[in-house]
Protein backbone atom coordinates (compact mmCIF):
# COMPACT_ATOMS: atom_id res chain seq x y z
CA UNK A 1 0.00 0.00 0.00
CA UNK A 2 2.86 2.38 0.88
CA UNK A 3 4.57 1.55 -2.39
CA UNK A 4 1.38 2.31 -4.33
CA UNK A 5 0.98 5.63 -2.49
CA UNK A 6 4.58 6.58 -3.32
CA UNK A 7 4.06 5.77 -7.00
CA UNK A 8 0.89 7.88 -7.10
CA UNK A 9 2.47 10.88 -5.41
CA UNK A 10 5.50 10.67 -7.70
CA UNK A 11 3.25 10.75 -10.74
CA UNK A 12 1.63 13.93 -9.45
CA UNK A 13 4.80 15.98 -9.60
CA UNK A 14 5.97 14.99 -13.08
CA UNK A 15 5.07 18.15 -14.92
CA UNK A 16 5.33 16.77 -18.44
CA UNK A 17 3.22 13.68 -18.04
CA UNK A 18 0.21 12.97 -20.19
CA UNK A 19 -2.03 13.81 -17.22
CA UNK A 20 -1.11 17.48 -17.36
CA UNK A 21 -0.74 17.77 -21.13
CA UNK A 22 -3.99 16.20 -22.19
CA UNK A 23 -7.17 18.19 -22.66
CA UNK A 24 -10.07 17.08 -20.51
CA UNK A 25 -12.99 16.35 -22.79
CA UNK A 26 -16.31 17.45 -21.38
CA UNK A 27 -19.68 16.59 -22.82
CA UNK A 28 -22.44 19.13 -22.89
CA UNK A 29 -24.84 18.72 -20.00
CA UNK A 30 -27.96 20.38 -18.71
CA UNK A 31 -27.58 23.34 -16.34
CA UNK A 32 -30.83 24.38 -14.72
CA UNK A 33 -32.19 26.49 -11.91
CA UNK A 34 -34.39 29.41 -10.95
CA UNK A 35 -33.78 33.15 -11.20
CA UNK A 36 -35.24 35.30 -8.41
CA UNK A 37 -35.15 38.73 -6.83
CA UNK A 38 -36.03 38.94 -3.14
CA UNK A 39 -37.13 35.29 -3.44
CA UNK A 40 -39.69 36.15 -6.17
CA UNK A 41 -39.36 34.63 -9.66
CA UNK A 42 -38.20 36.96 -12.43
CA UNK A 43 -39.74 36.75 -15.91
CA UNK A 44 -37.81 37.37 -19.16
CA UNK A 45 -34.28 37.02 -17.83
CA UNK A 46 -31.94 36.33 -20.77
CA UNK A 47 -29.83 33.23 -20.15
CA UNK A 48 -27.12 32.75 -22.77
CA UNK A 49 -23.78 30.99 -23.29
CA UNK A 50 -21.21 33.73 -23.96
CA UNK A 51 -19.46 33.32 -27.32
CA UNK A 52 -22.01 30.65 -28.19
CA UNK A 53 -25.35 30.39 -29.90
CA UNK A 54 -27.57 28.92 -27.19
CA UNK A 55 -29.92 31.20 -25.29
CA UNK A 56 -33.25 31.11 -23.47
CA UNK A 57 -35.54 33.35 -21.42
CA UNK A 58 -37.03 32.54 -18.04
CA UNK A 59 -40.76 32.06 -17.81
CA UNK A 60 -43.22 33.13 -15.14
CA UNK A 61 -41.76 30.65 -12.66
CA UNK A 62 -38.25 32.04 -13.20
CA UNK A 63 -36.95 28.63 -14.20
CA UNK A 64 -34.50 27.93 -17.02
CA UNK A 65 -32.57 25.04 -18.54
CA UNK A 66 -29.61 25.34 -20.89
CA UNK A 67 -26.89 23.02 -22.22
CA UNK A 68 -23.29 23.93 -21.42
CA UNK A 69 -19.87 22.38 -20.93
CA UNK A 70 -17.08 22.94 -18.46
CA UNK A 71 -15.41 26.29 -19.08
CA UNK A 72 -18.46 27.94 -20.64
CA UNK A 73 -19.72 31.23 -19.20
CA UNK A 74 -23.46 31.49 -18.59
CA UNK A 75 -24.76 35.06 -18.55
CA UNK A 76 -27.97 36.11 -16.80
CA UNK A 77 -29.16 39.57 -17.87
CA UNK A 78 -32.26 41.73 -17.49
CA UNK A 79 -32.78 45.44 -18.02
CA UNK A 80 -33.69 46.01 -14.36
CA UNK A 81 -31.00 43.90 -12.73
CA UNK A 82 -27.26 43.61 -12.57
CA UNK A 83 -25.87 41.16 -15.13
CA UNK A 84 -24.40 38.01 -13.62
CA UNK A 85 -21.87 35.72 -15.30
CA UNK A 86 -21.09 32.24 -13.97
CA UNK A 87 -18.22 30.03 -15.16
CA UNK A 88 -19.31 26.40 -15.55
CA UNK A 89 -17.14 23.98 -13.61
CA UNK A 90 -16.82 20.21 -13.74
CA UNK A 91 -19.39 19.84 -10.96
CA UNK A 92 -21.89 22.53 -12.03
CA UNK A 93 -25.44 21.24 -12.47
CA UNK A 94 -27.85 23.52 -10.62
CA UNK A 95 -27.49 27.32 -10.52
CA UNK A 96 -30.18 29.20 -8.61
CA UNK A 97 -29.50 32.88 -9.27
CA UNK A 98 -30.50 35.76 -7.00
CA UNK A 99 -30.42 38.99 -9.02
CA UNK A 100 -29.45 42.39 -7.61
CA UNK A 101 -31.38 45.54 -8.50
CA UNK A 102 -29.36 48.05 -6.49
CA UNK A 103 -25.58 47.88 -6.38
CA UNK A 104 -24.28 47.74 -2.82
CA UNK A 105 -20.84 49.29 -2.65
CA UNK A 106 -18.59 48.26 0.25
CA UNK A 107 -17.84 51.06 2.68
CA UNK A 108 -15.54 48.93 4.79
CA UNK A 109 -11.85 48.25 4.51
CA UNK A 110 -11.22 44.82 3.07
CA UNK A 111 -9.12 42.62 5.38
CA UNK A 112 -5.76 42.06 3.81
CA UNK A 113 -3.32 39.23 4.15
CA UNK A 114 0.12 39.77 5.62
CA UNK A 115 1.52 43.15 4.60
CA UNK A 116 4.67 41.75 3.09
CA UNK A 117 5.69 41.83 -0.53
CA UNK A 118 6.82 38.49 -2.04
CA UNK A 119 8.69 40.52 -4.65
CA UNK A 120 10.60 43.15 -2.61
CA UNK A 121 12.08 44.76 -5.71
CA UNK A 122 8.65 46.11 -6.67
CA UNK A 123 6.72 48.61 -4.55
CA UNK A 124 3.04 47.62 -4.31
CA UNK A 125 1.74 50.66 -2.39
CA UNK A 126 1.01 52.95 -5.34
CA UNK A 127 -1.70 50.69 -6.77
CA UNK A 128 -3.73 50.92 -3.53
CA UNK A 129 -4.00 54.73 -3.48
CA UNK A 130 -7.24 56.58 -4.18
CA UNK A 131 -7.53 57.94 -7.74
CA UNK A 132 -9.85 60.27 -9.63
CA UNK A 133 -12.29 59.40 -12.42
CA UNK A 134 -14.92 61.36 -14.32
CA UNK A 135 -17.49 59.77 -11.99
CA UNK A 136 -15.75 60.67 -8.73
CA UNK A 137 -12.87 59.33 -6.63
CA UNK A 138 -12.30 55.57 -6.30
CA UNK A 139 -10.41 53.84 -3.49
CA UNK A 140 -8.99 50.34 -4.25
CA UNK A 141 -8.75 49.66 -0.50
CA UNK A 142 -12.52 49.84 -0.03
CA UNK A 143 -13.89 49.19 -3.52
CA UNK A 144 -14.70 45.51 -2.91
CA UNK A 145 -13.68 44.55 -6.45
CA UNK A 146 -10.48 44.02 -8.40
CA UNK A 147 -8.90 47.10 -10.05
CA UNK A 148 -5.99 46.63 -12.42
CA UNK A 149 -3.04 49.00 -12.00
CA UNK A 150 -0.13 50.02 -14.24
CA UNK A 151 2.53 52.48 -13.15
CA UNK A 152 3.24 55.19 -15.72
CA UNK A 153 6.92 54.26 -15.72
CA UNK A 154 5.99 50.93 -17.33
CA UNK A 155 4.57 52.56 -20.50
CA UNK A 156 7.18 55.21 -21.26
CA UNK A 157 9.61 53.47 -23.58
CA UNK A 158 9.59 51.34 -26.67
CA UNK A 159 5.86 51.29 -27.45
CA UNK A 160 4.24 52.50 -30.64
CA UNK A 161 0.85 53.07 -29.02
CA UNK A 162 -0.87 53.13 -25.66
CA UNK A 163 -2.75 49.93 -26.37
CA UNK A 164 0.51 48.12 -27.17
CA UNK A 165 1.94 49.38 -23.86
CA UNK A 166 -0.88 47.62 -21.99
CA UNK A 167 -0.07 44.22 -23.49
CA UNK A 168 0.34 41.59 -20.74
CA UNK A 169 0.28 44.06 -17.85
CA UNK A 170 -3.20 43.52 -16.32
CA UNK A 171 -4.88 40.12 -15.74
CA UNK A 172 -8.17 40.00 -17.62
CA UNK A 173 -7.23 42.73 -20.14
CA UNK A 174 -6.88 41.07 -23.54
CA UNK A 175 -4.78 42.95 -26.13
CA UNK A 176 -4.81 41.34 -29.58
CA UNK A 177 -5.30 41.74 -33.33
CA UNK A 178 -3.13 44.71 -34.27
CA UNK A 179 -4.90 47.24 -36.51
CA UNK A 180 -3.28 48.86 -39.56
CA UNK A 181 -2.66 52.11 -37.61
CA UNK A 182 -0.61 50.41 -34.88
CA UNK A 183 -3.36 50.17 -32.28
CA UNK A 184 -4.68 46.92 -30.90
CA UNK A 185 -8.12 45.48 -30.21
CA UNK A 186 -8.80 45.62 -26.48
CA UNK A 187 -11.23 43.43 -24.57
CA UNK A 188 -11.80 42.85 -20.87
CA UNK A 189 -12.50 39.25 -19.91
CA UNK A 190 -16.10 38.75 -18.79
CA UNK A 191 -17.29 42.11 -20.21
CA UNK A 192 -17.75 41.14 -23.85
CA UNK A 193 -20.15 38.80 -25.55
CA UNK A 194 -20.95 37.16 -28.86
CA UNK A 195 -23.73 39.68 -29.44
CA UNK A 196 -22.02 42.93 -28.46
CA UNK A 197 -18.26 42.78 -28.84
CA UNK A 198 -17.34 46.37 -27.86
CA UNK A 199 -13.98 47.50 -26.45
CA UNK A 200 -13.58 49.34 -23.15
CA UNK A 201 -13.79 53.14 -23.04
CA UNK A 202 -11.07 55.56 -21.90
CA UNK A 203 -11.36 58.03 -19.01
CA UNK A 204 -8.43 60.48 -19.29
CA UNK A 205 -8.24 63.11 -16.53
CA UNK A 206 -12.02 63.05 -16.25
CA UNK A 207 -12.77 63.18 -20.00
CA UNK A 208 -14.41 60.17 -21.71
CA UNK A 209 -13.14 58.83 -25.06
CA UNK A 210 -14.64 55.85 -26.88
CA UNK A 211 -11.49 55.38 -28.97
CA UNK A 212 -7.88 55.24 -27.84
CA UNK A 213 -6.58 58.79 -27.17
CA UNK A 214 -3.77 58.98 -29.72
CA UNK A 215 -2.81 62.53 -28.67
CA UNK A 216 -1.55 61.45 -25.24
CA UNK A 217 2.26 61.26 -24.86
CA UNK A 218 3.21 58.06 -23.05
CA UNK A 219 5.84 59.84 -20.95
CA UNK A 220 3.12 62.10 -19.53
CA UNK A 221 1.16 59.22 -17.93
CA UNK A 222 1.31 58.98 -14.13
CA UNK A 223 -0.78 55.83 -13.71
CA UNK A 224 -3.43 53.67 -15.34
CA UNK A 225 -6.30 51.86 -13.59
CA UNK A 226 -8.41 49.23 -15.37
CA UNK A 227 -12.00 48.85 -14.16
CA UNK A 228 -13.01 45.32 -15.09
CA UNK A 229 -16.09 44.32 -13.14
CA UNK A 230 -19.69 45.43 -13.63
CA UNK A 231 -19.61 46.84 -10.11
CA UNK A 232 -16.75 49.17 -10.99
CA UNK A 233 -18.20 50.38 -14.31
CA UNK A 234 -21.82 50.76 -13.21
CA UNK A 235 -21.55 54.55 -12.84
CA UNK A 236 -20.62 54.88 -16.52
CA UNK A 237 -23.91 53.34 -17.66
CA UNK A 238 -24.11 51.39 -20.92
CA UNK A 239 -21.09 53.27 -22.29
CA UNK A 240 -18.81 51.57 -19.77
CA UNK A 241 -20.48 48.16 -19.84
CA UNK A 242 -17.40 46.58 -21.42
CA UNK A 243 -14.83 48.09 -19.08
CA UNK A 244 -13.11 51.41 -18.45
CA UNK A 245 -9.42 52.33 -18.67
CA UNK A 246 -8.75 55.28 -16.37
CA UNK A 247 -5.63 57.36 -17.05
CA UNK A 248 -4.17 60.09 -14.86
CA UNK A 249 -1.55 62.35 -16.38
CA UNK A 250 1.27 63.68 -14.24
CA UNK A 251 -0.09 67.24 -14.21
CA UNK A 252 -3.59 66.15 -13.17
CA UNK A 253 -2.19 63.84 -10.50
CA UNK A 254 -0.05 66.55 -8.92
CA UNK A 255 -3.02 68.96 -8.79
CA UNK A 256 -5.21 66.43 -6.93
CA UNK A 257 -2.55 64.92 -4.66
CA UNK A 258 -3.00 67.35 -1.77
CA UNK A 259 -6.76 66.84 -1.59
CA UNK A 260 -6.41 63.07 -1.75
CA UNK A 261 -3.95 63.00 1.16
CA UNK A 262 -6.25 65.12 3.28
CA UNK A 263 -9.17 62.80 2.54
CA UNK A 264 -7.14 59.72 3.52
CA UNK A 265 -6.06 61.22 6.84
CA UNK A 266 -9.61 62.26 7.60
CA UNK A 267 -10.88 58.79 6.82
CA UNK A 268 -8.24 57.14 9.00
CA UNK A 269 -9.26 59.04 12.11
CA UNK A 270 -13.04 59.00 11.57
CA UNK A 271 -13.69 55.29 11.03
CA UNK A 272 -17.44 54.80 11.48
CA UNK A 273 -17.51 51.04 10.78
CA UNK A 274 -18.12 49.77 14.29
CA UNK A 275 -19.35 46.35 15.37
CA UNK A 276 -23.03 46.26 16.33
CA UNK A 277 -22.93 43.09 18.45
CA UNK A 278 -25.23 41.46 15.89
CA UNK A 279 -23.54 38.04 15.58
CA UNK A 280 -24.98 34.98 17.31
CA UNK A 281 -23.00 32.03 18.71
CA UNK A 282 -22.30 29.15 16.35
CA UNK A 283 -23.43 26.01 18.17
CA UNK A 284 -25.81 23.80 16.19
CA UNK A 285 -24.06 23.50 12.84
CA UNK A 286 -20.48 22.74 13.73
CA UNK A 287 -19.84 19.22 12.50
CA UNK A 288 -19.06 17.10 15.53
CA UNK A 289 -16.20 14.64 15.26
CA UNK A 290 -18.23 12.36 17.53
CA UNK A 291 -21.36 12.28 15.41
CA UNK A 292 -19.79 10.91 12.21
CA UNK A 293 -17.80 7.70 12.34
CA UNK A 294 -14.73 7.03 10.23
CA UNK A 295 -16.46 4.10 8.51
CA UNK A 296 -19.40 6.32 7.56
CA UNK A 297 -17.06 8.90 6.03
CA UNK A 298 -15.25 6.19 4.06
CA UNK A 299 -18.55 4.90 2.70
CA UNK A 300 -19.55 8.43 1.69
CA UNK A 301 -16.24 8.87 -0.11
CA UNK A 302 -16.65 5.57 -1.95
CA UNK A 303 -20.16 6.43 -3.14
CA UNK A 304 -19.09 9.92 -4.29
CA UNK A 305 -15.70 9.04 -5.73
CA UNK A 306 -16.13 11.27 -8.81
CA UNK A 307 -17.44 14.37 -7.02
CA UNK A 308 -14.49 16.57 -5.94
CA UNK A 309 -16.67 18.90 -3.83
CA UNK A 310 -18.07 16.10 -1.70
CA UNK A 311 -14.66 14.44 -1.43
CA UNK A 312 -13.20 17.74 -0.25
CA UNK A 313 -15.88 18.12 2.45
CA UNK A 314 -15.06 14.62 3.67
CA UNK A 315 -11.31 15.36 3.59
CA UNK A 316 -11.96 18.45 5.75
CA UNK A 317 -13.63 16.25 8.34
CA UNK A 318 -10.84 13.68 8.18
CA UNK A 319 -8.32 16.41 8.98
CA UNK A 320 -10.43 17.69 11.88
CA UNK A 321 -10.53 14.12 13.25
CA UNK A 322 -6.75 13.74 12.91
CA UNK A 323 -7.04 11.04 10.22
CA UNK A 324 -3.97 12.19 8.33
CA UNK A 325 -3.46 9.21 6.01
CA UNK A 326 -7.13 9.11 5.08
CA UNK A 327 -7.11 12.81 4.21
CA UNK A 328 -4.03 12.29 2.02
CA UNK A 329 -5.83 9.51 0.13
CA UNK A 330 -8.80 11.79 -0.52
CA UNK A 331 -6.70 14.75 -1.66
CA UNK A 332 -4.82 12.44 -4.03
CA UNK A 333 -8.16 11.43 -5.57
CA UNK A 334 -9.19 15.08 -5.87
CA UNK A 335 -5.87 15.86 -7.54
CA UNK A 336 -6.60 13.22 -10.20
CA UNK A 337 -10.07 14.71 -10.77
CA UNK A 338 -8.75 18.30 -10.87
CA UNK A 339 -5.09 18.22 -11.94
CA UNK A 340 -5.13 21.81 -13.21
CA UNK A 341 -6.56 23.37 -10.04
CA UNK A 342 -4.08 25.34 -7.93
CA UNK A 343 -6.00 24.26 -4.85
CA UNK A 344 -5.26 20.61 -5.65
CA UNK A 345 -1.52 21.25 -5.30
CA UNK A 346 -1.84 23.22 -2.09
CA UNK A 347 -4.29 20.80 -0.40
CA UNK A 348 -2.12 17.79 -1.08
CA UNK A 349 1.01 19.65 0.00
CA UNK A 350 -0.46 20.69 3.36
CA UNK A 351 -1.82 17.17 3.91
CA UNK A 352 1.70 15.78 3.40
CA UNK A 353 3.14 18.47 5.68
CA UNK A 354 0.64 17.72 8.46
CA UNK A 355 1.78 14.08 8.23
CA UNK A 356 5.44 15.17 8.59
CA UNK A 357 6.22 14.23 5.00
CA UNK A 358 7.93 17.53 4.24
CA UNK A 359 9.84 16.36 1.17
CA UNK A 360 6.65 15.45 -0.70
CA UNK A 361 4.99 18.65 0.51
CA UNK A 362 7.85 20.80 -0.78
CA UNK A 363 7.85 18.97 -4.12
CA UNK A 364 4.13 19.69 -4.53
CA UNK A 365 4.66 23.39 -3.86
CA UNK A 366 7.65 23.56 -6.19
CA UNK A 367 5.84 21.67 -8.96
CA UNK A 368 3.13 24.33 -8.86
CA UNK A 369 5.66 27.17 -8.88
CA UNK A 370 7.67 25.71 -11.74
CA UNK A 371 4.66 25.96 -14.03
CA UNK A 372 5.17 29.72 -14.02
CA UNK A 373 2.27 30.52 -11.73
CA UNK A 374 2.22 34.08 -10.35
CA UNK A 375 1.92 34.13 -6.59
CA UNK A 376 2.32 37.87 -6.08
CA UNK A 377 -1.28 39.06 -6.02
CA UNK A 378 -3.56 36.05 -5.73
CA UNK A 379 -5.08 34.66 -2.54
CA UNK A 380 -3.87 31.12 -3.27
CA UNK A 381 -0.43 32.45 -4.23
CA UNK A 382 -0.01 34.31 -0.96
CA UNK A 383 -1.16 31.25 0.95
CA UNK A 384 1.21 28.90 -0.86
CA UNK A 385 4.14 31.28 -0.43
CA UNK A 386 3.46 31.64 3.31
CA UNK A 387 3.50 27.87 3.76
CA UNK A 388 6.66 27.52 1.69
CA UNK A 389 8.25 30.24 3.79
CA UNK A 390 7.25 28.43 6.99
CA UNK A 391 8.83 25.23 5.69
CA UNK A 392 11.97 27.11 4.61
CA UNK A 393 12.48 28.58 8.08
CA UNK A 394 11.31 25.63 10.19
CA UNK A 395 11.77 22.38 8.19
CA UNK A 396 14.45 23.16 5.63
CA UNK A 397 16.54 20.05 6.28
CA UNK A 398 13.56 17.68 6.61
CA UNK A 399 12.12 19.01 3.35
CA UNK A 400 15.41 18.64 1.51
CA UNK A 401 15.17 22.15 0.10
CA UNK A 402 17.80 22.65 -2.59
CA UNK A 403 16.07 25.25 -4.75
CA UNK A 404 16.95 28.94 -4.50
CA UNK A 405 14.04 30.29 -2.48
CA UNK A 406 13.72 33.94 -1.45
CA UNK A 407 11.44 34.46 1.58
CA UNK A 408 9.24 37.54 1.77
CA UNK A 409 10.35 38.10 5.37
CA UNK A 410 13.82 39.35 6.16
CA UNK A 411 14.16 36.91 9.08
CA UNK A 412 12.26 34.39 11.15
CA UNK A 413 11.51 37.12 13.68
CA UNK A 414 9.84 39.19 10.98
CA UNK A 415 7.96 36.13 9.74
CA UNK A 416 6.33 35.23 13.05
CA UNK A 417 2.88 36.43 14.08
CA UNK A 418 0.24 35.92 16.74
CA UNK A 419 -2.52 34.30 14.68
CA UNK A 420 -2.87 33.00 11.13
CA UNK A 421 -6.26 31.84 9.84
CA UNK A 422 -6.68 29.76 6.69
CA UNK A 423 -10.29 29.69 5.50
CA UNK A 424 -11.27 27.08 2.88
CA UNK A 425 -14.62 26.21 1.32
CA UNK A 426 -15.53 23.16 -0.74
CA UNK A 427 -17.64 24.81 -3.47
CA UNK A 428 -16.60 27.79 -5.57
CA UNK A 429 -20.19 29.05 -5.77
CA UNK A 430 -20.30 29.82 -2.03
CA UNK A 431 -21.01 33.46 -1.22
CA UNK A 432 -20.28 34.86 2.22
CA UNK A 433 -18.87 37.79 4.17
CA UNK A 434 -16.14 37.28 6.76
CA UNK A 435 -16.05 39.98 9.42
CA UNK A 436 -13.08 40.74 11.66
CA UNK A 437 -13.67 42.93 14.71
CA UNK A 438 -10.65 44.45 16.46
CA UNK A 439 -10.44 45.33 20.19
CA UNK A 440 -11.68 48.85 19.39
CA UNK A 441 -14.84 47.32 17.88
CA UNK A 442 -13.88 48.46 14.37
CA UNK A 443 -15.02 46.13 11.59
CA UNK A 444 -13.00 44.90 8.60
CA UNK A 445 -14.66 42.67 6.02
CA UNK A 446 -13.72 40.17 3.32
CA UNK A 447 -16.67 40.09 0.93
CA UNK A 448 -16.83 36.91 -1.15
CA UNK A 449 -19.88 37.71 -3.30
CA UNK A 450 -20.50 38.25 -6.99
CA UNK A 451 -22.03 41.63 -6.23
CA UNK A 452 -19.01 43.05 -4.43
CA UNK A 453 -16.07 40.94 -5.64
CA UNK A 454 -16.91 39.57 -9.07
CA UNK A 455 -13.38 39.54 -10.48
CA UNK A 456 -12.03 37.60 -7.51
CA UNK A 457 -14.57 34.84 -8.03
CA UNK A 458 -13.77 34.74 -11.75
CA UNK A 459 -10.07 34.39 -10.92
CA UNK A 460 -10.83 31.66 -8.38
CA UNK A 461 -12.62 29.57 -11.00
CA UNK A 462 -10.10 30.12 -13.77
CA UNK A 463 -7.10 29.36 -11.55
CA UNK A 464 -8.92 26.81 -9.43
CA UNK A 465 -8.78 27.81 -5.76
CA UNK A 466 -11.19 28.36 -2.88
CA UNK A 467 -9.19 29.54 0.11
CA UNK A 468 -7.89 32.67 1.79
CA UNK A 469 -5.41 33.39 4.58
CA UNK A 470 -5.63 36.15 7.19
CA UNK A 471 -3.14 37.35 9.78
CA UNK A 472 -3.51 39.07 13.12
CA UNK A 473 0.06 40.07 13.89
CA UNK A 474 -0.65 41.75 17.19
CA UNK A 475 -3.56 40.61 19.34
CA UNK A 476 -3.04 43.37 21.88
CA UNK A 477 -4.93 43.37 25.16
CA UNK A 478 -8.48 43.23 23.84
CA UNK A 479 -10.64 40.72 22.00
CA UNK A 480 -10.68 40.01 18.27
CA UNK A 481 -13.85 38.45 16.85
CA UNK A 482 -14.29 36.50 13.62
CA UNK A 483 -17.86 36.40 12.26
CA UNK A 484 -19.40 35.02 9.09
CA UNK A 485 -22.56 35.80 7.17
CA UNK A 486 -23.29 32.90 4.79
CA UNK A 487 -25.30 33.84 1.68
CA UNK A 488 -25.77 30.53 -0.15
CA UNK A 489 -24.14 28.66 -3.05
CA UNK A 490 -26.81 28.64 -5.83
CA UNK A 491 -27.71 24.97 -5.27
CA UNK A 492 -29.47 22.73 -2.71
CA UNK A 493 -26.33 21.17 -1.23
CA UNK A 494 -24.66 22.73 1.83
CA UNK A 495 -21.28 24.45 1.87
CA UNK A 496 -18.53 23.09 4.10
CA UNK A 497 -15.90 25.43 5.51
CA UNK A 498 -12.61 24.33 7.00
CA UNK A 499 -10.87 26.93 9.17
CA UNK A 500 -7.39 26.26 10.46
CA UNK A 501 -6.20 28.54 13.28
CA UNK A 502 -2.44 28.73 13.74
CA UNK A 503 -1.58 30.28 17.11
CA UNK A 504 1.93 31.75 17.59
CA UNK A 505 2.46 31.38 13.85
CA UNK A 506 6.07 30.60 12.94
CA UNK A 507 7.23 30.22 16.54
CA UNK A 508 8.61 27.02 18.11
CA UNK A 509 5.45 26.77 20.21
CA UNK A 510 3.13 27.13 17.21
CA UNK A 511 -0.12 25.16 17.46
CA UNK A 512 -2.95 24.59 15.02
CA UNK A 513 -6.60 23.70 15.37
CA UNK A 514 -8.89 22.59 12.53
CA UNK A 515 -12.65 23.22 12.70
CA UNK A 516 -15.24 22.25 10.08
CA UNK A 517 -18.54 24.08 9.63
CA UNK A 518 -21.56 23.19 7.52
CA UNK A 519 -23.92 25.90 6.28
CA UNK A 520 -27.23 25.25 4.51
CA UNK A 521 -30.03 27.77 4.95
CA UNK A 522 -28.48 30.03 7.57
CA UNK A 523 -28.46 33.73 6.69
CA UNK A 524 -27.69 35.18 10.12
CA UNK A 525 -24.33 36.58 11.12
CA UNK A 526 -22.52 33.92 13.15
CA UNK A 527 -19.62 34.39 15.57
CA UNK A 528 -17.01 31.73 14.88
CA UNK A 529 -14.05 32.71 17.04
CA UNK A 530 -12.85 35.04 19.75
CA UNK A 531 -9.11 35.65 20.15
CA UNK A 532 -8.19 36.73 23.67
CA UNK A 533 -4.82 37.03 25.39
CA UNK A 534 -2.99 34.72 22.96
CA UNK A 535 -5.74 32.08 23.13
CA UNK A 536 -8.65 31.19 20.91
CA UNK A 537 -12.11 30.93 22.41
CA UNK A 538 -14.52 28.84 20.36
CA UNK A 539 -18.08 28.35 21.61
CA UNK A 540 -16.91 29.20 25.11
CA UNK A 541 -13.98 26.75 25.11
CA UNK A 542 -10.31 27.71 24.98
CA UNK A 543 -8.43 25.83 22.28
CA UNK A 544 -5.08 24.60 23.57
Query: DSSP per residue over 28-91, as a string?
Result: -EEEEEEEEETTEE-SS-EEEETTSS-EEE--TT-EEEEEE-TT-EEEEEETTEEEEEEE--TT
Report the pLDDT value the prediction gives residue 524, as an integer from 0 to 100: 84
Out of 268, 296, 328, a domain closes at: 268
Half-sphere exposure of 5 toward its Cβ, with a 13 Å CA cutoff? 13
Looking at the fold, whether 192 and 306 belong to one and the same domain comes out as: no
Domain that holds residue 421: 280-543
Looking at the fold, whether 58 and 170 belong to one and the same domain comes out as: no
Looking at the fold, whether 237 and 292 belong to one and the same domain comes out as: no
Strands (E) in 166-220, as ranges, are 173-176, 185-188, 201-204, 207-209
Query: Is there a domain that residue 1 lies in?
Result: no
Report the pLDDT value the prediction gives residue 76, as an integer from 0 to 100: 94
Q: Are 44 and 57 in contact (CB under 8 A)?
A: yes
Closest by Cα among 280, 205, 283, 191 to 238: 191
Out of 205, 235, 268, a domain closes at: 268
Report the pLDDT value the prediction gives residue 109, as an integer from 0 to 100: 34
Q: Are 410 and 377 in contact (CB under 8 A)?
A: no
Query: Is there a domain that residue 274 lies in?
Result: no
Report the pLDDT value the prediction gives residue 28, as an integer from 0 to 100: 87
Looking at the fold, whether 286 and 215 belong to one and the same domain comes out as: no
Looking at the fold, whether 284 and 236 belong to one and the same domain comes out as: no
Query: Is there a domain that residue 395 lies in?
Result: yes
Out of 268, 298, 322, a domain closes at: 268
pLDDT in tens, the chain (544 residues): 455 455 445 555 444 443 433 444 457 899 999 999 988 999 999 999 988 878 999 999 999 999 999 999 999 999 888 889 999 999 999 999 999 875 444 333 333 334 343 333 344 456 667 888 888 888 777 666 678 888 888 876 667 778 888 887 877 777 776 665 656 788 876 554 333 457 889 999 888 888 888 778 888 889 999 987 766 677 777 777 788 999 998 877 776 554 444 444 334 334 456 788 888 876 644 554 556 788 999 999 999 999 999 999 999 999 999 999 999 999 999 999 999 999 999 999 999 999 999 999 999 999 888 776 655 555 688 889 889 999 999 999 999 998 888 887 777 877 887 889 999 999 999 999 998 888 888 887 888 998 878 878 888 898 899 999 888 877 777 788 999 999 999 999 999 999 999 998 888 899 999 999 999 877 789 999 988 765 555 433 333 2
Looking at the fold, whether 138 and 221 belong to one and the same domain comes out as: yes
Residues 6+ apart with CB under 8 A from 212: 161, 162, 163, 183, 186, 202
Looking at the fold, whether 264 and 286 belong to one and the same domain comes out as: no
Report the pLDDT value the prediction gives residue 126, as an integer from 0 to 100: 63
Looking at the fold, whether 227 and 357 belong to one and the same domain comes out as: no
Chain mean position to CA 470: 13
The radius of gyration computed from the CA coordinates of the chain, to the nearest angstrom, equals: 24
Q: How many structural domains is the chain composed of?
A: 3
Chain mean position to CA 159: 33
Amino acid sequence: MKKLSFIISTIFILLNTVLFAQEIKEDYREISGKVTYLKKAILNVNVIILNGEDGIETGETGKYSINAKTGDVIQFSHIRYQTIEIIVEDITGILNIEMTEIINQLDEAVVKGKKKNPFPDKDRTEDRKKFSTSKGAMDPETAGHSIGFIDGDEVNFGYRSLSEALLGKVPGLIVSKQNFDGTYVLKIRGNSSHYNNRPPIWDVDGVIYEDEPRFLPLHDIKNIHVLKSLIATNKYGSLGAHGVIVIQTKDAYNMSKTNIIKEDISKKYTNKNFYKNDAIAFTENKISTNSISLSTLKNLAASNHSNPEILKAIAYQMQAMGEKNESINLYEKIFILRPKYAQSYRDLAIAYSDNNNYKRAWRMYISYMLQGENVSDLAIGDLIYSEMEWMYYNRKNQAGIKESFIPKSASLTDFKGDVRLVVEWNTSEAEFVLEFVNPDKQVYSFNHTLTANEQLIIDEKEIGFSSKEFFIDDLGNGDWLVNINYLGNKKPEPTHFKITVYSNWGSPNQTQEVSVFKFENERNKIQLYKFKNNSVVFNGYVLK
